[in-house]
Amino acid sequence: MADVLVLNAGYEPLHRVSLRHAIHMLVREVAVVEESEAGRSFGPYPLPRVLRLVRYVTMRWRYRHGHAPACTKAAVRARDGRCAYCGGPADTVDHVLPRSRGGASSWLNLVAACGACNARKADRTPQEADMELRVVPHVPDLSWSPAA
């Protein structure tokens, strides 16, 4: 496992950290395990896949001057790299919560997808379509760009 997702206290994705950093966060009691590797542990701690901060962190630093990187289809495909459902080549984007149900076209609701998975999911949530979401939608850092 390469890294661990860190969620804010309000369950918003913040960033990813190394497993070593995640263990330090658990030892310092600044985070709790939300999701772990089944049957695996590190000392008294379950091996984390997702941590949640105990205290809310203001994320103003992520949006200097009130702007996040532009959320375009090309940028979402570049962020995710592969289809969020099957891991194949992504040639389109999918709304995790469909637009017809109020889902926004935002970094936190768009994922890269292949045409077949996008059609299979249709106007449903991943859970309703019995499809596993392999990536967690997140707002990239301001220093990130699709060309990088």
Could you read off the pLDDT of 2-48 as tens digits, one per residue? 689 999 888 888 888 999 999 999 999 999 999 998 888 888 889 99
* Total domains present in the chain: 2
* 47 and 74 co-located in one domain: no
Mean pLDDT of 110-133: 95
**Nearest by Cα to 79 from 17, 16, 140:** 140
Could you read off the pLDDT of 45-99 as tens digits, one per residue? 899 999 999 998 876 555 555 566 788 898 899 999 999 999 999 999 999 999 9
Could you identify the residue written with the tokens 């190394």?
Answer: 18
* 36 and 85 co-located in one domain: no
* 80 and 125 co-located in one domain: yes
* 73 and 112 co-located in one domain: yes
Could you identify the residue written with the tokens 């994922």?
Answer: 111
Distance (Å, rounded) from C-alpha 144 to C-alpha 92? 20
